[in-house]
Chains A and B, each alone.
Chain A
Amino acid sequence: MLWLAVMFPALSLEVYPACQTPFGVIEERSLLACDDKAKAYGVLPGMSAAQACALCPSLVLRPRDRAAEGALLEHLADFAYGLTPRVVVKPAGLLMNFTDDLSPVGDARVLLSRVAGHLQHRGYRAHVALAPTAMAASIFARSGALSLWTHNDAWRLALRSLPWEYLSLPKSVRAACMDLGLSLIGELLDLPRAGLRRRFGLDVVHTLERLMGERPEINTYWVPPPVFKSRIPLPFPAGTEDAVLYYIRRITTVLCDFIGRRDAHVRQFTVALGYEDKTALSEEFTLARPERDAAVLTGLVRARLARWKTHSGIVWISLEAPFETNTEGNLSFWREEESQEREVKGLLDRLCARLGNDAVRAVSWYPDYRPERATVEASWPPTDRPSRDDPGRPAHPLWLVDPPHPLTVVDKIPQLSGPLRFVGDPERLETGWWDGPAAREYFVAVTMHAERLWIFRLPDGRWFLQGYFG
Chain B
Amino acid sequence: MRAAPLDLEGVEEIGVCRGWTRVEAATLSTGFPALNQYLGGGWPDGVFTELRLGRTGIGEMRLLMPALSALSRHYYVLWVAPPYRPYAPALVAQNMVLDRLLLARPRTHKEALWAVSQGLLCPSIGAVVSWFSGIREGEFRGLQRRASEGGHWSFCFLPESATPQPSHLRLALQSLQGALRIRVSQKAKRPLPPLVVTL
Check if A398 sits within 8 Å of B101, measured CB to CB: no
A356 to B108, CA, bound (A): 12
Verify if B21 is at the interface (C-beta below 8 Å from A). no
| A307 CB → nearest B CB, Å | 10
A449 at the interface (CB under 8 A from B): yes
User: Is residue B88 contacting chain A, with contact meaning CB distance below 8 A?
Assistant: yes
Interface pick from A34-42, A141-149, A197-205, A371-379:
A371-379
Nearest CB to that of A366 among chain B residues? B88
- 0/1 string, A200-219, CB within 8 A of B gives 1: 00000000000000000000
Q: B56 to chain A: which residues have CB within 8 Å?
A: 399, 451, 468, 470
Q: Which of B88, B91, B111 contacts A354 (CB 8 A)?
A: B111
Please count how many residues in chain B sit with their CB below 8 Å of the partner chain's CB atoms.
47
Asked if A365 and B88 make an inter-chain contact with CB atoms under 8 angstroms apart, the answer reads yes
| Residue in B closest to A372 when the chains form the complex, CB atoms | B85
Contact of A400 among B54, B85, B119 (CB under 8 A): B85
A343-B123, A343-B124, A363-B101 are known contacts. Are A470 and B88 too (CB-CB below 8 A)? no
Note all chain B residues with C-beta closer than 8 A to A380. Answer: 102
Query: Residue A393 at the B interface, CB < 8 A?
Result: yes
Q: Which residue in chain B gives the minimum CB-CB distance to A374?
A: B89
B59 neighbours in A (Cβ, 8 Å): 452, 469-470
Interface positions, chain A 433-452, Cβ under 8 Å from B, are: 447, 449-452
Interface string of A344-386 (1 = CB under 8 A from B): 1011101100111011111111100001001111001010010
Whether B93 pairs with A363 at a CB distance below 8 angstroms is: no
Say yes or no: is B1 at the interface (Cβ < 8 Å to chain A). no
Q: Are B62 and A470 in contact (CB under 8 A)?
A: yes
Most chain B beta carbons < 10 A, residue from A382, A398, A450: A398
Task: Give residues of chain A (332-351) contacting chain B, Cβ–Cβ below 8 Å.
Answer: 340-341, 343-344, 346-348, 350-351
Q: Contact: A392 with B91, CB < 8 Å?
A: yes
B89 touches A344 (CB 8 A): no
A377 touches B115 (CB 8 A): no
Q: Let me know if A398 and B92 touch, CB within 8 A.
A: no
Contacts of B102 in A (CB 8 A): 344, 348, 360-362, 380
Q: Is the CB of A399 within 8 A of B61?
A: yes
For A374, the chain B residues whose CB sits under 8 A away are 87-89
A50 surroundings in chain B (CB, below 8 A): none
Q: Would you call B125 and A344 a contact (CB within 8 A)?
A: yes
- In the bound complex, CA of A137 to CA of B54 (Å): 85
* A85 interface residue (CB < 8 Å to B): no
Chain A residues with Cβ below 8 Å from B98 are 362-365, 385
Q: B62–A361 contact, CB under 8 A?
A: no
Of the listed residues A350, A365, A385, the one surrounded by the most CB atoms of chain B closer than 10 A to its CB is A365
Residues of B within 8 A of A346 (CB): 122
Residues of chain B lying within 8 A (CB to CB) of residue A401? 84-85
Tell me the residues in window 373-414 of chain A with beta carbons closer than 8 Å to chain B beta carbons: 374-377, 380, 382, 385, 388, 390-394, 396-402
In contact, A354 and B87 (Cβ under 8 angstroms): no
Candidate in B85, B103, B104 with the most chain A CB atoms within 10 angstroms: B85
* Bound CA–CA A248/B57 (angstroms): 47
Interface SS, B side: mixed
Most chain B CB within a 10 A radius of its CB, from A374, A393, A450, A452? A450
Q: Are A355 and B111 in contact (CB under 8 A)?
A: yes
Task: Say whether B175 faces chain A, with CB atoms less than 8 Å apart.
Answer: yes
CB proximity of A390 to chain B, nearest CB, Å? 7
B6 in the interface, Cβ–Cβ < 8 Å? no
**B83 contacts chain A at the CB level, 8 A cutoff:** yes
Q: Does B58 contact A (CB under 8 A)?
A: yes
**B104–A351 touching, CB < 8 Å:** yes
Q: How far is the CA of A385 from the CA of B58 in the complex (A)?
A: 31
A132 at the interface (CB under 8 A from B): no
Q: How many A-B residue pairs have CB under 8 A?
A: 167
| Interface flag for B5 (CB, 8 Å) | no
Cα distance A388–B99 when bound, in Å? 12
Does A93 touch B at the CB level, under 8 Å? no
A364 near B176 (CB under 8 angstroms)? Answer: no
- Flag if A355 contacts B115 (CB, 8 Å): yes
Which of A347, A371, A377, A390 contacts B118, CB < 8 Å?
A347
Contact present for A350 and B118 (CB under 8 Å): yes
Structural contact, A355 and B103, CB atoms closer than 8 A: no
A453 CB-CB contact with B under 8 Å:
yes
For A344, A347, A451, which residue has the most chain B Cβ atoms within 10 angstroms? A347
The yes or no answer to B106 lying at the interface (CB within 8 A) is yes
B11 within 8 A of A: no
Q: Is the CB of B86 within 8 A of A392?
A: no
Q: Interface digits, B165-181 against A, CB 8 Å rule (1 contact, 0 not)?
A: 00000000001111000
Interface residues of B in 57-99 (CB under 8 A from A): 57-62, 65, 75-76, 82-94, 98-99
The answer to the question of A22 belonging to the interface, with a C-beta cut-off of 8 Å to chain B, is no
Chain B nearest CB from A328 CB (Å) reads 20
Determine the chain A residues whose CB is within 8 A of the CB of B109 once the complex forms. Answer: none
In the complex, whether B105 has a CB less than 8 A from a CB of chain A is yes
Identify the interface centre among B86, B89, B177: most chain A CB within 10 Å of its CB: B89
Contact B84 A399 (CB under 8 A): yes
A446 to chain B, nearest CB (A): 8
* A364: chain B residues within 8 A (beta carbon): 88, 98
Q: Mark B10-49, 1 if CB is under 8 A from A, else 0.
A: 0000000000000000000000000000000000000000
CA distance A449 to B60 in the complex (A): 14
User: Would you mind naming 30 contact pairs between A and B with Cβ atoms under 8 Å apart?
Assistant: A340-B76, A340-B124, A343-B123, A346-B122, A347-B124, A351-B115, A354-B114, A354-B115, A355-B107, A359-B105, A360-B105, A361-B105, A363-B103, A365-B98, A391-B93, A392-B89, A392-B91, A392-B94, A393-B89, A393-B93, A396-B90, A396-B93, A398-B65, A400-B86, A447-B57, A449-B55, A450-B176, A468-B57, A469-B61, A470-B62
5 further A-B pairs in the complex, CB-CB below 8 A; given A399-B56, A399-B61, A399-B85 = A362-B103, A375-B86, A398-B65, A398-B86, A452-B57
The 3 closest A-B pairs by CB, nearest first: A392-B93, A450-B175, A470-B61
